[in-house]
Structure 1
Amino acid sequence: MKTINSAEVIANSKFNRFHLSLLIWSFLIILFDGYDLVVYGTVVPILIEKWGLTPVEAGAIGSYGLFGMMFGAILFGTLADRIGRKNVIAITLILFSLFTFLCGFAETPTMFSTYRFLAGLGLGGIMPNVIALLTDYAPKTMRSMIVSVVLCGYSVGGILAPLLGIFIMPKFGWESIFWFAGLPLVMLPIMYKQLPETASHLIRTGKRDKLVATLLKVNPGMDIQQNDEFEELREKDTKVPIIGLFQDKRALSTVMFWIAFFSCLLMVYGLNTWLPKLMIDAGYGLNSSLAFLVTLQGGAIIGTLIIGRLCDKYGSKKMLVPMYASGAIALTLLGFSGNSFVIYLLVAIAGAATIGAQNIVQAYVSQYYPPSIRSTALGMASGIGRIGGMLGPLLGGFLLSVSLPIHLNFIAFAIPGLLAAAALAIVPVRNAHSNKVDTNTRRDSINDAAV
């Protein structure tokens, strides 16, 4: 009988079929998450005309879903650290898929807003838990890259929404692109069977057989027996996971992460909701304006993949701070350029530095905290961020209602990018949980060599 640390087994594993299966399922989940978030921005010009909405009213409807996401992120993020990430992923997928599907049957703004709020509960809870589960099982050398690849699904879904808007809405109406969101309900039984539960939860609940079977899939080369003992890196434990976010000198980091999430999501949801409308006001047709939304998401995919790989090599903080700043610069310039090529280029950069940066900062946060409070950390940061996300559509609606020049609208969305860069620059890297794991691993190696 020997003692095994599951975190070290996972950290030292090589990417294999187990990781690929987890990556594919996570990618599909986040794809529909992104689709459901962006789909409202695709139909908002039509709903304004159909229901006679003012820009402020349309912005408020966009914020109802984000209001639900705030509660969902906090509630389901904390709950997952108690009942397991796998169970919470299933619950939140049912919520966001079912009620987004029902939005296609809404006949009034009130009914539509209610469905968006209920869908938002699931949307807010699913991403923190998918990211936490990915981080739980990702090899140490490619954690940021794996999470970044999966989070590109958000942008793929974000591209799919306006594309369906261009090709499907003229034939089948605006309702049809909401019906597409019901597909995850069909794949749920297979997904639930194949997704693993996190190792720390299996240890805490005494499910030894599942733990051994899972670790052998993660690292087939390991010699693990049923009678082996399992240990984890010891952290200060608390019955209230939120308190753990402020222990071990993490209080400053926690607050700075919250500020960064708030600022970035204000930009992300403001742009996703109002970019087509802003471009229509600038003289572009509906289809051309939706193409800018596609470009925004395309830039996010490229930025996420490139910067995500660099984060594993040089560190997330070193990449994210200049990324946020470049987004602020691109958005500022976007309001002044009249050349179509330059505008598309700036929109792509803005996508990489807003949506792409938000993808990567979630990977960073998931590694910064220990597994026992990882979902709580992501859920709380996402929940605080959703407040900024709610303000984004409202801010855009207010700015359009007072008829400001176009360039001032873009500058308003650029300012939070500088705030996010400043907040993340303050985060002390030395207090990250991933650094403690690496330190303990090196210490054990030195002790083994001495013996």
Structure 2
Amino acid sequence: MNQLNVSEFIATSDFRRFHFLLLIIGFFCVIFDGYDTAVFGAILPSMMKEWHLTAVEAGALGSYSLFGMLFGAFTFGVLADRYGRKRMVAVTVILFSLFTALGGIAPGPKVFGFFRFMAGLGLGGILPNAIALLTDYSPKKTRTTITAIVFCGYCLGGMLSPFIGILAIGNYGWRIVLWVGALPLIFLPLAYRYMPESSFILLREGRREELLAVLARINPARKIDAEVRLYEEHDVSTRVPLAGLFGEGRALSTVMFTAAIFFHLILGYGLINWLPKLMLEAGFSMNSSLMFLIVLQCGAIVGTVVMGYAGDHYSLKRILVGMYLLGSVTMVLFALNRNATLAYVLIAVAGVPVVGAMNLVQVYISQFYPAFVRSTAMGFSSSVGRVGGMLGPLLAGWLVDMSFSIHSMFFAFAIPGVLSAISISAVQHRYSTDRSRKGQAEVGMRLAGEVEK
């Protein structure tokens, strides 16, 4: 019988209008994910002044959204692999957009903290699903580059928060920066209409005609026989996807991915949330302090695109190890620096590993695991790793409260980068999906998840 391997059909396709449209949708979603994640750092100095918060209280408040991300990343990752990525993308966008905007009407820290927790559920869930969906449909030869470009939306959103803060906080107050976060609710219906569901979900649910229509959009020039038997590279049954993270030799790598994200987020969220405040303490003006966040994200955008392109030609594992070590070196150099101009240069360079490496490790995870556990893998590693993200602002706030100098704090920020590099070094790439797929085909493994007309 004539048969078609759906994964191979997608992987060997060329970049077409279908992929560009999916890239734009993912880029838009991720922009506001980055915006809402970085918004706390942009409003922190003004909010501390209005509500008379101590550094420790502010650090705790900054951790509420991260606490929500911890639950959101894992919960929506598992739900997506069970019920579909498209549906979960919509739910998570509604959550983080609505509750970020509601934070702008919070009367005090307690209500604000609740709204940030609820927004965090969506912020934690959007990336695993948006990136997994993009990976599902990207051509293999440009998969890393495409995903890296979408991750630049996260960096762009991280730039928009302080930029809008610079323009608006002085005249309108800090709350308006949060209200801007509601914009995705306006465009979500249009994005949902053109967003495809993952191919393995369409196979599992028997939506054959819908899948054939998607495949025709991916490669209009290739005619698909109406009698063709469709199947996936891996099992697409409804079994619990969490088990797939630890089977087929992937257990150690799952732990190491999680550890790398844990240590990295201590650095990432600690720095992003506290950078404007630290620069104020160092003698910079409010606008100049917010500008450091913009410079950080600019460096991240350049680094993500360049390293993403390199990832399509060289080992992602080695690139990540180098990026994490670069982050540690940059933190040490910043701690030793006393020149204001050089400080901006170092922060730009730091954006490559501090934000760019976080983008790239998600790309690596999305390619390491098979499709039926892809969202779960990204959600699980991100969820457990978010504990580091929660600790980052708290530890930074504690160091500030203990009167640590800005230079001592940057020395402390150098430690997590080394630990992340060690963790990624221990990932066993020989068990990744891309590496193992050829061998599985050669030994003639029976492939499940087929759908017949």
The interval holding the TM-score normalised by the smaller chain is: over 0.9
Cα distance in structure 2, aligned partners of 1:10 and 1:61: 44
Letter matched to residue 131 of structure 1: I
Distance 1:405 1:237 in 2: 55
Structure 2 counterpart of 1:353: 353
Consecutive unaligned residues in structure 2, runs of 5 or more: 445-453
Q: Which runs of 4+ in 1 moved over 4 A?
A: 235-238, 438-444
- Deviation of 1:436 after TM superposition, in Å, equals 2.2
| 2:70 pairs with 1:70 | yes
Task: Establish whether residue 369 from structure 1 lines up as the match of residue 369 from structure 2.
Answer: yes
% of aligned pairs identical?
Answer: 49
Q: Deviations over 1:137-175 (max 9, x none)?
A: 010101111110000001100111101000111121111
Look up the equivalent residue of 2:323 and give its one-letter code: M
1:226 deviates by 3.3
Supply the AA of the counterpart residue of 1:13: S
Q: Distance in 2 between matches of 1:226 and 1:23?
A: 29
Aligned to 2:290: 290
Q: Which stretch of the first structure deviates more once superposed, 343-352 or 236-245?
A: 236-245
CA–CA distance in structure 2, aligned partners of residues 193 and 374 of structure 1: 23
TM-score, normalization by structure 2: 0.96
Where 1:230 maps in the other structure, the secondary structure is strand
Task: Report if the CA contact (8 A) 1:212-1:226 is conserved.
Answer: no
| Alignment correspondent of 2:87 | 87
CA distance, structure 1, for counterparts of residue 441 and residue 295 of structure 2: 43
Corresponding residue for residue 448 of structure 2 = none
* Structure 1: distance between partners of 2:441 and 2:7: 10
TM-score when normalising by structure 1 = 0.96
Q: Which residue of 2 aligns with 1:138?
A: 138
Question: Are the aligned partners of 1:8 and 1:441 in contact in 2 as well (CA < 8 Å)?
Answer: no
User: Paired residue for 1:273?
Assistant: 273
Is 1:124 aligned with 2:158?
no
Structure 1 runs not aligned, ≥5 long? 445-451
Q: Could you tell me how far 1:346 is from its partner in structure 2?
A: 1.1
Provide the rounded CA distance (Å) in 2 between the counterparts of 1:159 and 1:254: 31
- Equivalent pair of 1:237/1:244 in contact (CA under 8 Å): no
Answering whether residue 44 of structure 2 is matched by residue 40 of structure 1, we say: no
The letter for the 2-side match of 1:207 is R
Q: 1:448 — aligned with what?
A: none
Q: How far is 1:315 from its partner?
A: 1.7
Shift of 1:340: 2.1
- 1:283-336 CA distances to partner (integer Å, 9 max, x unpaired)? 111111111110110110010000110011012012110110000110111112
Partner AA of 1:325 in structure 2: L
Change (3 A) 1:236 1:224: closer
- SS state at 1:124 partner: helix
**Cα shift at 1:434:** 1.1
Greater Cα offset, 433-442 or 75-84: 433-442
Partner of 2:24: 24
Q: Which structure 2 residues correspond to residues 154-193 of structure 1 after superposition, within 5 A?
A: 154-193=154-193
8 Å contact 1:212–1:225 — kept in the other structure?
no
Counterpart of 2:8, as a letter, is: E
Structure 1 position 265, deviation (Å): 1.3
Is 1:202–1:210's contact at 8 Å kept on the other side of the alignment? yes
Provide the C-alpha distance between the structure 1 equivalents of 2:180 and 2:441, rounded to a whole number of angstroms: 47
Give 1:441 deviation, angstroms.
6.5
CA contact (8 A) 2:82 2:238 kept: no
For residue 234 of structure 1, report the CA deviation from its aligned partner.
3.4
CA distance, structure 2, for counterparts of residue 287 and residue 171 of structure 1: 13
Partner amino acid for 2:232? E
Aligned residue pairs, count:
444
Q: Distance in 2 between matches of 1:424 and 1:183?
A: 36
Task: Tell me if structure 2 keeps the 8 A contact 1:135–1:143.
Answer: yes
Provide the aligned C-alpha RMSD in A: 1.4
Contact 2:234 2:370 in 1 (8 A): no
State the partner residue of 1:53: 53
Structure 1 residues 386-405: aligned runs within 5 Å = 386-405=386-405
Q: Partner residue of 1:316? A: 316
Cα shift at 1:443: 8.3
- Counterpart amino acid of residue 408 in structure 1: S
